[in-house]
């Protein structure tokens, strides 16, 4: 991975044979410079700078990060205890970007979290990490110890009045923990189910105290934004959205992987140039632009820029920015069945459309994939996708699971019909 520190701030320390896993290497490359600058600023000025920089959350929702921080009560009358939480669970199918950052540049995450905690006046922070991420957890634990030893974390940081403790929490593993309030319940030692909103976590979150939850990649953008400024950060993007982003591609391409590119990079460039295009003999049939819980787009959308609004106008969501490619030799019914089985298994069971609807979808898809489907099954699937849609469930798990299903029924309807009329999977 060849990077330029001015245009690739997230991966500037990550090369084919090197990474900044120790604090010496990290500080030699300008690490913790943003943290030192932040300590000389007023917290409200940091919040405004992040908001002006236009950083949008990289976990999937794309909400303005600084604006989210601004909702935390501040000042003398605000609660004395506040928390910062990093969502490092990364269980979205097809997503593997946060692991790269945690394994190869753990101090970047810690620095971003330190700045964010100082900005919202929190003195305790947690990294809620996916249980299977053993190497990332080990390196983060080492990085916490190193930063604490050098006075960059812990009590009276750099000789000042501010103190911050960062704790690593190993998740027991559940997709629903990607939803921030379910994550907070799990962190409290309770069942991982979503909470009703309002109140929002920024007002009443972890143990009822004001809390901000952000994604790993979001925090990793903060040190460079503080160090270089809002105007520089905005200049990194190719369109309306600011900054750079880690984009990934999985599926039958020649070079699957993840790359740091400007926000607004066209889908075609990511798939054809960076991922090397489709494997020999295969054609692109469609793709999920932001992980398994987004709508399929077709080859006609290859020139759409990867930014939140453009992908939204095309009929999908940018989500995590990790593209899952569907080729013309892979069964779309089988792909949607695989995703639906995952979402059904990961449902927390809190609401009926998700708890009962997803297993029903799986049963119908299995029937179609095995050649025992009926044409009326397609209408049943469309009806069920609508019932699992936004506004009908307690959180976004079922609506996300409905997106690949409903879009596959539109784009690949003939493939579903062929399964039913031929009495078998044509791709088998």
- DSSP code of residue 195: P
- Topology adopted by domain 9-235: Rossmann fold (3.40.50)
Q: Is the pLDDT of residue 6 over 80?
A: no
Token pair 């701030």: residue: 9
Pick the CATH number of 332-422 from 1.25.60.10, 1.20.1440.230, 2.40.50.100, 3.40.50.300: 1.20.1440.230
**pLDDT at residue 86, rounded to an integer:** 98
Are 388 and 406 spatial neighbours (Cβ–Cβ below 8 Å)? no
Q: What is the mean pLDDT of residues 381-404?
A: 94
Statement: residue 297 has pLDDT above 80: yes
Fold (topology level) of 244-327 = Ubiquitin-like (UB roll) (3.10.20)
- Pick from 2-6, 85-89, 215-219, 313-317: least confident: 2-6
Query: Do 418 and 426 contact (CB within 8 A), yes or no?
Result: yes
Would you state the structure tokens that stand for residue 147, as one six-digit string? 């930063």
What distance in Å separates the CA atoms of residue 49 and residue 229, rounded to the nearest whole number? 8
What's the token pair of residue 90?
């990364």
pLDDT of residue 317: 96
Exposure letters 319-333 (e unless 16+ CB within 10 A, then b): bbbbbbbbbeeebbb
**pLDDT, position 5:** 56
Strand arrangement, sheet containing 284-288:
257-262, 244-250, 322-327, 284-288
Q: How far is CA 149 from the centre of its chain?
A: 31
Q: Quick one: pLDDT at residue 141?
A: 97
Predicted TM-score of the model (pTM)? 0.94
What residues contact residue 150 under an 8 Å CB cut-off, 6+ apart?
23
Mean pLDDT of the chain: 94
Mean pLDDT over 272-283 rounds to 98
Q: What is the pLDDT of residues 52-94, one digit of tens each?
A: 999 999 988 889 999 999 999 998 889 999 999 999 999 999 9
Those residues whose C-beta lies under 8 Å from the C-beta of residue 48, and which sit 6 or more positions away, are 66
pLDDT digits (tens, 9 = 90+) for 174-194: 899 989 999 999 999 999 999
Q: φ, ψ for residue 80 (rounded to 5)?
A: -75, -30
pLDDT in tens, 332-365: 999 999 999 999 999 999 999 999 999 999 999 9
**Domain residue spans in the chain?**
9-235, 244-327, 332-422
Candidates 100, 352, 77, 386; CA nearest to 245 is: 100
Q: Are residues 46 and 65 in contact, defined by beta-carbon separation less than 8 angstroms? A: no
Q: Positive or negative CA dihedral for 338, 344, 345, 347?
A: positive
Residues 13 and 2: beta-carbon distance below 8 Å: no
Which DSSP symbol is given to 178?
G
Close Cβ partners of 300 (under 8 Å, ≥ 6 residues apart): none
Distance CA 76, CA 70 (A): 15
In 3D space, the residue among 166, 139, 175, 162 whose CA is nearest the CA of residue 38 turns out to be 162
pLDDT tens digits for range 9-44: 999 999 776 677 899 999 999 999 999 999 999 999
- Number of neighbouring beta carbons within 10 Å of residue 207: 11
The confidence score (pLDDT) of residue 1 equals 47
Q: Which residue has the higher pLDDT, 172 or 269?
A: 269
**284 vs 302: CA distance, rounded Å:** 10
Average pLDDT over residues 396-411: 96
Q: Is the pLDDT of residue 2 over 60?
A: no
Q: Do the Cβ atoms of 52 and 43 come closer than 8 Å?
A: no
Above 80 in pLDDT, residue 46? yes
């Amino acid at each position: 991975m060849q990077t330029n520190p001015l245009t690739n701030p997230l991966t500037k320390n990550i090369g084919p044979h090197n990474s900044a896993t120790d604090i010496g290497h990290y500080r030699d490359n300008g690490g913790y410079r943003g943290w030192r600058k932040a300590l000389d600023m007023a917290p409200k000025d940091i919040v405004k700078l992040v908001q002006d920089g236009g950083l949008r959350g990289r976990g999937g929702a794309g909400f303005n990060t600084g604006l989210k921080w601004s909702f935390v009560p501040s000042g003398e009358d605000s609660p004395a205890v506040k928390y910062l939480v990093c969502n490092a669970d990364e269980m979205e199918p097809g997503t593997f970007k946060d692991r790269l950052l945690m394994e190869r540049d753990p101090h970047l995450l810690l620095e971003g979290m330190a700045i964010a905690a100082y900005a919202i006046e929190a003195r305790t922070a947690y990294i809620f990490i996916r249980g299977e991420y053993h190497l990332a957890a080990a390196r983060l634990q080492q990085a916490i110890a190193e930063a604490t030893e050098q006075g960059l974390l812990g009590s009276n940081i750099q000789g000042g009045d501010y103190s911050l403790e960062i704790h690593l929490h190993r998740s027991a593993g559940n997709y629903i923990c990607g939803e921030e309030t379910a994550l907070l319940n799990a962190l409290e030692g309770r069942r991982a189910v979503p909470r009703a909103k309002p109140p929002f976590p920024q007002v009443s979150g972890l143990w009822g105290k004001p809390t901000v939850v952000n994604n790993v990649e979001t925090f990793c953008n903060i040190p460079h934004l503080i160090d270089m400024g809002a105007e520089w950060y905005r200049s990194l993007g190719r369109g309306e959205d600011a900054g750079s982003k880690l984009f990934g591609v999985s599926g039958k391409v020649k070079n699957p992987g993840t790359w740091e590119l400007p926000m607004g990079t066209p889908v075609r460039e990511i798939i054809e140039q960076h991922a090397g295009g489709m494997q020999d003999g295969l054609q692109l049939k469609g793709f999920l632009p932001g992980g398994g819980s987004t709508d399929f787009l077709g080859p006609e959308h290859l020139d759409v820029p990867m930014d939140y609004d453009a992908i939204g106008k095309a009929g999908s969501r940018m989500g995590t920015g990790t593209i899952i490619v569907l080729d013309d030799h892979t069964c779309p019914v089988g792909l949607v069945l695989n995703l639906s089985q995952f979402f059904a298994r990961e449902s927390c069971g809190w609401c009926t459309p998700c708890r009962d609807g997803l297993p029903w979808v799986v049963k119908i898809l299995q029937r179609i994939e095995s050649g025992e489907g009926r044409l009326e099954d397609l209408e049943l699937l469309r009806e069920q996708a609508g019932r699992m849609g936004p506004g009908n469930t307690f959180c976004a798990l079922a609506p996300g699971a409905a997106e690949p299903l409903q879009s596959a029924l539109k784009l690949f309807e003939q493939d579903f019909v062929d399964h039913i009329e031929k009495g078998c999977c044509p791709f088998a």
